[in-house]
Structure 1
Amino acid sequence: MSGPVPGERLVVIGYGPAAHRLVERLGRPGPYAVTVLGAEPEPAYGRPLLTAVLDGTLPVRALRLPEPPPGTALRLGVRAVSVDPRRRLVRTSDGAAHPYDRLVLATGAAPVLPGPGWARDADGRLAPGVRPLRTLADAARLASGSGPVAVVGGGVLGVEAALALRRRGRPVVLVHRGPHPLDRHLDARAGEAVTGRLRALSLDLRLGRTVAAREDAGAALALDDGSRVEAAEVLLCVGARPRVELARAAGLAVRSGVLVDHRLRTSAARAYAIGDCAEPLDGGGYGPDAAPGPTGRVPAGGFASAWDQAETLALLLTGGDGRHSGARGVLRLKAPELDLLRVGTTAGADETVVLGDAAAGRYARLSLRAGRLTGAVLIGLHRAAAGVVRLHQRGEPVPVDRLALLLGEAPPYEAGPPPGTALVCHCNNVTGDALEAAWRAGARTAAALAAATRAGTGCGGCAEEVRVRCEAWSGAGTREEAVS
């Protein structure tokens, strides 16, 4: 990719976390005149942290991301209605036209909604009390409610949302058509461990069930087995699909998402795509629920991957060189009651290590090839999580004492930098040393550490580790003060 010509017009469609990261990394003064078109009236915010609004951990304002660099033309509440790749022109809902020299599609994904039936009125709109969880407005409305909630869908978002609402004191019923929650991510034995833990947390699980109808003027759901769920509020968490309507109408190559190569280029000249709307040519979508593509590869996805794409594209747009590999595939459930980590894949393993401890609610599965980690699932083993992620991402040999690794008793730092320099927050490149330095400088709570270092303000996957470290340092500090 050739470098930019000073003053080139860059139009970004969408203003979620991926678009925000791109604009932030381009910097200012930069080589482009940047215009950002955001369909939501809100400025960019940390979408993965919406469940923290549900349980009251964070106020709405805490999710907002920093202001874009000075000089960025930010158009909020404005929707792009058409793209003309030949004329290089974007038209918007307010009647304006935005010419561009380079275009970035960051349109994200839309929640999957049920077809005509129990969830919709006669005019096709969602029925009162039925909503998805995709925007800040969705989270704020749910957080202001009371009474029982039915969460439909037991994927990552459904489980996180159900636990967040339960922490807020609301009775929750989780309806999931699969055999166990998170069945797209976990094998049957891990699913049993998760199911047991959720039931111990007073979640009412209706597994292998679907909603057949809404009854009693919207106050209850009838399930396909004839049972009932008493709940006037229904949260839909049944998946998301890339927003590709704009790209498809413009003639860009689209499969389930907008097709991009390893340099994030679409089929249209000088047009790129990042985030949930993008799909690699040689694999499935980038999202955490991505299905295998034509080659059978499921690329790493989710929020961290979107930020990686944004940083790669910023480098390319400013004349640098690079490619997006999608190599970071870490799923960390954002729920303090259920510590769950999944990394990599079990494909191609020549050794499998399984640890099951039903009484303590712990489970682990390590998949290795030639002594190195290809994938792992950890439940209730938070002390092992950082080491396992590091081993996977660096391709380092797994220690011979597998049990000590899983119990967190033998740190896997046999080579390379000491533990303090290992990343805790991958989204913001925050190390353990940086966190400890901030704590010693006075940031003595998890919230204060997040404000000082931005750790936990990305995907939120490290929030529990930040909290645990903060508590450990606080305990150690109290003991030191008592001794002195």
Structure 2
Amino acid sequence: MRSRSRVVIVGGGMAGARLARALGAGGPEAPEVTVVAEERHPAYNRVLLAEVLAGRYPAEVIELPAAGPAIDWRGGTRVVGIDRGRRLVRCDDGAELPYDALVLATGSNPVLPPLRGLTPPAGGELPDGVHAFRTLDDALALADEAGHGRQAVVVGGGLLGVSAARALAARGARVVLAQQGGSLMERQLDASAATLLAEHLTARGVEIHTECRVRALRVERDGARRRVRGVELADGFVLDADLVVLACGVRPRVGLARSSGLTLGARGGIAVDDRLATSDPAVHAVGDCAEHAGRLYGLAGPAQDQADVLASVLTGGPARYAGTRALTRLTLPAAAGGPLDLAAFGATSAEPGDDEVRLTDATRGAYRKLVVRGDRLRGGILVGDLASVGTLARAWEGDEPLPDTSLLHLLTHDGGL
């Protein structure tokens, strides 16, 4: 008679792998865990993809610890359907996996902008030389094509676009970054920090165009194949391109959830409660695909927090997920002149009733800004020396009262705490 519960995890990314490791460490009474991972690679740290693209790390260095011998890890396999009535998962290899608890850790897909020339009229593959930057396969393909003298255009100046542009430049490519907005990383940085970031990239060979809308790709045909040759801007100017990286954001991957009738949230993710359960109590969701309390995170920290909470829930624990106060941190690959570190957390713009303190060191290319309300830290931006980021982030995450000292002391190396 079967006594151990069966947990099937769909997705072998950072959230799915962390959950599998936690469940597999539970000893003989642990659930029977099966992971269906669409990617053929072992689980890896997605945060370090730019390091692989830059050539600083080989792919195996960013692998995460193995889930353990007790975990049935099915790499290179795709789930094609969920039968919630029978509690079965159907895979593209014909396997049917029964479950007592199903976890969707399906992550997110890159957003492909509606550019003329991106896909043929009847759909199909992207032109040769055009890549998203989301997976290890993306990073390896770009690294294989990038090199000295290659002309690369990165479309999108957010976190992923900035990382890709700097990594391609480290490979020796001639890089143009086209950002539709007025500054880089608009969601995380203010104008002063974005200017420092732009200066760092420009000094390392990245040509930056802001307020620049891309409207089409120029492609040439070679038989049945199509190859990108340029990027056409809204004003008609054409950027030559051997490579194009589309870093235009991501959206939660919810196709399986939608087709099986699960409720989606207002922001398009899979709606989950504080136990990370969906509208079906036997089905849970974690990571980029999960929408909790109307929020999609899209960051590694919250995904790992959710995996830890769900591991407790699935083994009978009392844990509840109350959200994560997420820190965005980026280290651009080192080269001549050294790396650039930056971090952003919480509210980065002051509102009525807030105090704001800034410290700029132009000679070192450093900038710090904190937003404070009363005796609480509401958020901040740090560029350059990040010695104090851990202390400041902990004070923000824990909503701890700040010391009764000058606000300027918060910008010392130890955070003034």
**TM-score in terms of structure 2 length:** 0.89
How far apart, CA to CA, are the structure 1 residues paired with 2:113 and 2:249?
A: 11
Task: Single out whichever of 372-381 and 248-257 deviates more from structure 2.
Answer: 372-381
Counterpart in the other structure of 2:13: 16
Q: Which SS does the other structure have where 2:388 is aligned?
A: helix
Q: Which SS does the other structure have where 1:161 is aligned?
A: helix
How far apart, CA to CA, are the structure 1 residues paired with 2:22 and 2:95?
A: 27
How far apart, CA to CA, are the structure 2 residues paired with 1:136 and 1:30?
A: 34
Counterpart in the other structure of 1:203: 206
Question: Residues 376, 231 of structure 1: CA spacing in aligned structure 2 closer, same or farther, 3 A cutoff?
Answer: same
The offset of 1:221, in angstroms, is 1.6
Q: Which SS does the other structure have where 1:194 is aligned?
A: helix
Q: Which SS does the other structure have where 1:163 is aligned?
A: helix
1:29-428 equivalences in 2 (<5 Å) = 29-115=28-114, 117-124=116-123, 125-145=125-145, 146=147, 147-215=150-218, 217=220, 218-255=228-265, 256-280=268-292, 282-287=293-298, 302-335=299-332, 336=334, 337-345=339-347, 346=349, 350-358=354-362, 360-399=364-403, 400-408=405-413, 410-413=414-417
How far apart, CA to CA, are the structure 1 residues paired with 2:235 and 2:206?
A: 19
Q: Deviations over 1:396-441 (max 9, x none)?
A: 3334243343241x5534xxxxxxxxxxxxxxxxxxxxxxxxxxxx
Structure with more helix by fraction? 1
Contact 1:151 1:237 in 2 (8 A): yes
The offset of 1:30, in angstroms, is 4.1
Question: Residues 41, 411 of structure 1: CA spacing in aligned structure 2 closer, same or farther, 3 A cutoff?
Answer: closer
Q: Which SS does the other structure have where 1:363 is aligned?
A: strand
The offset of 1:250, in angstroms, is 0.5
Question: Residues 49, 29 of structure 1: CA spacing in aligned structure 2 closer, same or farther, 3 A cutoff?
Answer: farther
Contact 1:6 1:32 in 2 (8 A): no
Q: Deviations over 1:186-215 (max 9, x none)?
A: 223333332233223321001111222333
Contact 2:305 2:324 in 1 (8 A): no
Contact 1:151 1:172 in 2 (8 A): yes
How far apart, CA to CA, are the structure 2 residues paired with 1:215 and 1:82?
A: 38
How far apart, CA to CA, are the structure 2 residues paired with 1:29 and 1:179?
A: 56
Contact 1:109 1:243 in 2 (8 A): yes
Task: Single out whichever of 234-243 and 42-51 deviates more from structure 2.
Answer: 42-51
The offset of 1:357, in angstroms, is 4.0
Aligned pairs, number: 393
How far apart, CA to CA, are the structure 1 residues paired with 2:90 and 2:219?
A: 45
Q: Deviations over 1:32-64 (max 9, x none)?
A: 111111111222111111111011111011122
Contact 1:155 1:237 in 2 (8 A): yes
Identity, in percent, stands at 41
Counterpart in the other structure of 1:451: none
How far apart, CA to CA, are the structure 2 residues paired with 1:407 and 1:197?
A: 23
Q: Which SS does the other structure have where 1:20 is aligned?
A: helix
How far apart, CA to CA, are the structure 2 residues paired with 1:115 and 1:212?
A: 8
Contact 1:41 1:76 in 2 (8 A): yes
**TM-score in terms of structure 1 length:** 0.77
Contact 1:196 1:361 in 2 (8 A): no
Aligned alpha-carbon RMSD (Å): 1.9
Q: Which runs of 5+ in 1 are unaligned?
A: 288-301, 414-484
Contact 2:409 2:416 in 1 (8 A): no
The offset of 1:101, in angstroms, is 0.8
Amino acid at match of 2:75: L
How far apart, CA to CA, are the structure 2 residues paired with 1:30 and 1:277?
A: 29
How far apart, CA to CA, are the structure 1 residues paired with 2:157 and 2:168?
A: 14
Q: Which runs of 5+ in 2 are unaligned?
A: 221-227
Contact 1:82 1:250 in 2 (8 A): yes
Q: Deviations over 1:131-167 (max 9, x none)?
A: 1011111111111222121111100011011111112
How far apart, CA to CA, are the structure 2 residues paired with 1:150 and 1:210?
A: 13
The offset of 1:372, in angstroms, is 1.7
Question: Residues 411, 213 of structure 1: CA spacing in aligned structure 2 closer, same or farther, 3 A cutoff?
Answer: closer
Q: Deviations over 1:82-118 (max 9, x none)?
A: 1121221111111221111111000010111123623
How far apart, CA to CA, are the structure 2 residues paired with 1:6 and 1:247?
A: 28
Q: Deviations over 1:307-340 (max 9, x none)?
A: 0100110011111111112233100013153221
The offset of 1:388, in angstroms, is 1.6
